């Protein structure tokens, strides 16, 4: 197997949102970009959460759902990875946890994102 690092497979063009974004807006964004989730950052680009379809669906039955902000429903316990980690390490995370995406950080700031799909394409694409 190739010894690739996260920086070799991550997408450097990351869609992020601020915690003040409304639920309607985040739903539109996820539909438009065809993503199932995005990192939430503060005004200094520091990772503070992750908002996913799962978080939105879990919040649907709450009162005033459409008036909520990302900060009200995002997951604040975010698993992130560093760009110099080997892909072998992140494949374990994807196997053990239900994540589709992992934000890639450097000094607390989001510098990329890696998805299960990107890992599969890079690691297994060589065989077909």
- Read out DSSP for 21-85? -BHHHHHHHHHHHT-SEEEEE-TT-BEEEEEEHHHHHHHTTSTTGGG-BHHHHSBSS---EETTS
Q: How far apart are CA 79 and CA 93, in angstroms?
A: 9
Q: In the numeric block, which tokens belong to residue 43? A: 């005004």
To the question of domain 6-127 being in CATH 3.90.70.10, the answer is: no
Tell me the domain boundaries of the chain: 6-127
Q: Residue 92: enclosing H or E segment and its boundaries?
A: helix 87-96
Query: Which pLDDT tens digits describe the chain residue by residue (128 residues)?
Result: 558 899 988 999 999 999 999 999 999 999 999 999 999 999 999 999 999 999 999 998 877 888 899 999 999 999 999 999 998 889 899 889 888 899 999 998 999 999 988 887 777 666 55
pTM of this structure? 0.87
């Amino acid at each position: 197997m190739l010894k690739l690092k996260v920086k070799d497979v991550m997408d450097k063009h990351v869609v992020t949102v601020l915690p003040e974004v409304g639920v309607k807006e985040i739903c539109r964004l996820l539909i438009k970009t065809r993503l199932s989730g995005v990192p939430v950052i503060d005004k200094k680009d520091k990772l503070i959460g992750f908002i996913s379809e799962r978080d939105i669906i879990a919040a649907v039955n709450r009162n005033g759902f459409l008036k909520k902000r990302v900060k009200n429903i995002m997951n604040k316990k975010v698993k992130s990875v560093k760009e110099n980690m080997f892909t072998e390490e992140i494949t374990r995370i994807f196997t053990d946890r239900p994540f589709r995406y992992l934000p890639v950080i450097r000094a607390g700031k989001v510098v990329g994102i890696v998805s299960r799909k990107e890992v599969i394409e890079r690691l297994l694409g060589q065989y077909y």
